Amino acid sequence: MVPLIKGKSARESLEEQGLWDEYRGKFPFNPTRFDDQSLSVSSEQMTNDADLAYFGVISIGTPPQSFTVIFDTGSSNLWIPSIYCSSAACANHNKFNPGLSSTFKNAGKSLSIQYGTGSMTGFEGFDTVVVGGIPVKNQIFGLSQSEAPFMAHMKADGILGLAYPRLAASQATPVFDNMMTQHLVNQDMFSVYLTRNSEVGSMVTFGGVDPNHYYGQIAWIPLSSQMYWQITVDSVTVNGQIVACNGGCQAIVDTGTSNIVGPQADISSMARAVGAYSANGDNVVNCNSINNMPAMVFHIHGQAFTLPASTYVRQSTYYGCRTGLQSSNSDLWILGDIFIRQYYSIFSRAQNMVGLALAR
């Protein structure tokens, strides 16, 4: 198990410093994690999500060097900053020094990962990576040599991708695939529990589920594609009316995105249905009306997954209340941390399914 810390998001830090509006202008949020060209070239779309707040600690090398990473089910590479990086983003993060590790091997390959607003470039190496006490030998990972400016505002040092190998840049083997191959987990699955408010308590469990973190039955949903953790959503309703995803849509369950992201027309329709209006690029609501706002219901594989207003409205000290609904120019929906906080999420590579159960 890897305990996750829920820290301040980049957005919260920037709001406190009065820099959010300037930052938002410079780095417009681009939640599009996917364009199909990225499969043929060695780049992987990742999002510059200023609301991300959960990260855990891993170590790399012998003796171990520690890093905080975002455990991201929407990407497949592991990368961290290296001492060869001189970007501003590397100056305020921990940097890996391969010269200090007796088990490091240079893979002799370069790596480039595209973000919505820039990229991470570097090279690949192999070393022992310890995740939640599990030592993964000869794990390939990226060592950054340059990082996009927005990464300076990320709390985590790097990213540990938990999606399928097909999504990995440079055909790198993902960490969980090595855990399976090296027989380091009891079952070929991992589970994610995200706390609603408290800074401590969030958890990624490798090799099984933790019954202390959910109520009732687990609903098992077959994947519609094995690249992201992608499932079919049948519809989204508010007050019994279909407001989005009419006739069905594709969605990914993504710990590396904080909000619910969907096509513009659908997100606008959902926002209207719950009484939100658009301001400064956010869907804003009156903080006093949260208790009277309706739930959103995602209908998936014959079951209803309900998000009450308290789960999808965020209160900011400086910007009032806003919904966690964001539009993108893709048809692929993203069920991010807002959804995962409400539904304990189990990612089964053995069955190629996602399991969802009401989180405790």
* Enzyme catalytic residues: 72, 254
Nearest Cα neighbor of 49 from 9, 77, 93 is 9
DSSP 262: E
Sort 171 into a burial class: Cβ within 10 Å, 0-12 / 13-18 / 19+: exposed
Peptide bond into 81 cis (omega under 30): no
The CA dihedral of 295, 300, 302, 303, to the nearest 10 degrees, is -40
Reading across the β-sheet that carries 282-285, which strands appear in turn? 277-279, 282-285, 320-323, 313-316
Question: For residue 66, what are the contacts with CB-CB under 8 A and spacing of at least 6?
Answer: 57, 58, 59, 94
Sign of CA dihedral 87, 92, 98, 99: positive
Phi and psi, residue 23, nearest 5°? -60, -45
Amino acid at 192: V
Nearest Cα neighbor of 236 from 321, 312, 156 is 312
Contact 333, 260 (CB under 8 A): yes
Tell me how far the alpha carbon of residue 39 is from its chain's centroid.
Answer: 19
Give the C-alpha separation, 88 to 256, whole Å: 22
Sign of CA dihedral 276, 319, 49, 59: negative
